[in-house]
Structure 1
């Protein structure tokens, strides 16, 4: 005979171990600037249901569910399913099973479309950047510039029987990739992303430069792909550091002094990989989820905003 299930609240109170998921959600709950973000979204959120129907879900609940989607790489149907399955996620979203409505996949989809339609994910990224600057996290003295490839499905086994026309192929080393690129400008002090741009995969990294600088840099750091005599000449001056890795002349070898400089630059540049690691490994964003650049671009702004908060959460909590 199966055991009588315990009351959920009592069962949770009796639990002795705090899981990794609960710890992560508690930390992120504490560092996300909820008041600022809700004030940002509230003017665009519907105040009443369509044609006098059910009232919309609370805005904060939908924002929290949307963040859960991005942290755990959940599709709209899986986000709904997971809310039924996970007590920790329901608690984070402020949903009490049996008392509150759980948003269905269509409601979750509509909220994401609302954010995309009004450009609100870029606004979320900007608001988080302002929040971190107010906390003294970013110093805006130096910028690390880099790009990462986001793979897209190359299969034609879909409804359109074609690959995504807005994605393209690019080569890195001896390997070919199909997808898009995320270009970032990273604060050299804190390691958080302050600028983000996206492109199709075939766009060379060096073509996206000015969009990634905030204009107050005393130093810039990048790999060999960004070598430019014109940019270097424009940046030189008193107190300026041009930290772009030296490139050997065609058919020649790099001078030993330049090799030493490159080792120093590489040590400084290492911090630029941290946001990519968080988005791809911690949040599981290994492939594009949607067709077209616009929807994936919108998601990337959210992912890097949340990634910034994750990177500096210990400083914010302290």
Structure 2
């Protein structure tokens, strides 16, 4: 419990952003992604201990979902309790990742080609659940039921519906 929050959850309204993050917590294969990153993640033998992989991964995903730069993500972690909660940073942690920590994590993912592998893994699992993740910017994100394309590549009619993750 932090003194700032006194352990009281005074927010009762469920927001679209909160519902979106709750849904992503359920559908994203966090343990598989962590296992993909873990062999390349610093062990923190000297200096400050690194943040947990899960925390940095969830911050990275929020950054992508909401189109935030490294400095904007750092600021959002300080300003938005929902983001801290999603990243697991409200459990008595006294420090938050700064923009250079966020940048180094992103560079780790890019340098080892993990971002592409993660995107493919997430898409594979979401497609199995009838969802789809597309690249783009998010202003407001939600999972909606949407019809699939009525024509495939060859121009033949297709039938059926799938749930598709859309970004606005």
TM-score greater than 0.5 by the shorter chain? yes
Pick aligned residue for 2:31 from 32, 35, 48: 35
Kindly indicate whether the alpha-carbon contact (under 8 Å) linking 1:65 and 1:93 is maintained by their aligned counterparts in 2: yes
Pick closer, same or farther for the CA change 1:190–1:78 going to 2, 3 Å.
same
Pick closer, same or farther for the CA change 1:129–1:97 going to 2, 3 Å.
closer
Secondary structure at the aligned position of 2:7 is classed as helix
Q: TM-score, normalised by structure 1?
A: 0.41
Pick closer, same or farther for the CA change 1:63–1:6 going to 2, 3 Å.
closer
Distance in 2 of aligned mates of 1:29 and 1:8 = 25
Deviations 1:141-184 (A, max 9, x none): xxxxxxx9x8xxxxxxxxxxxxxxxxxxxxxxxxxxxxxxxxxx
Deviation (angstroms), 1:6:
7.3
Deviations 1:34-83 (A, max 9, x none): 1111111111111115xx11111111100000011011111100100000
4+ runs deviating over 4 angstroms = none
- What are the ranges of 5 or more consecutive residues in structure 1 without an aligned counterpart? 139-147, 151-188, 192-218, 222-241, 244-263, 282-318
Q: TM-score, normalised by structure 2?
A: 0.74
1:92 aligns to 2:76 (yes or no): no
Deviation (angstroms), 1:190:
6.2
Kindly indicate whether the alpha-carbon contact (under 8 Å) linking 1:137 and 1:190 is maintained by their aligned counterparts in 2: no
Count of residues in Structure 1 that have an aligned counterpart in Structure 2: 148
Partner in structure 2 of residue 68 of structure 1 = 62
Pick closer, same or farther for the CA change 1:128–1:53 going to 2, 3 Å.
same
1:17 aligns to 2:18 (yes or no): no
Deviation (angstroms), 1:21:
1.7
Pick closer, same or farther for the CA change 1:103–1:190 going to 2, 3 Å.
farther
Deviation (angstroms), 1:100:
3.5
Question: Rg: which structure is higher?
Answer: 1
Distance in 1 of aligned mates of 2:129 and 2:77 = 35
1:126 aligns to 2:116 (yes or no): no
Distance in 2 of aligned mates of 1:20 and 1:8 = 25
Deviation (angstroms), 1:87:
0.6
Structure with the higher fraction of residues in strand conformation: 1
Secondary structure at the aligned position of 1:9 is classed as coil
- What are the ranges of 5 or more consecutive residues in structure 2 without an aligned counterpart? 137-146
Kindly indicate whether the alpha-carbon contact (under 8 Å) linking 2:27 and 2:126 is maintained by their aligned counterparts in 1: no
Distance in 1 of aligned mates of 2:51 and 2:15 = 28
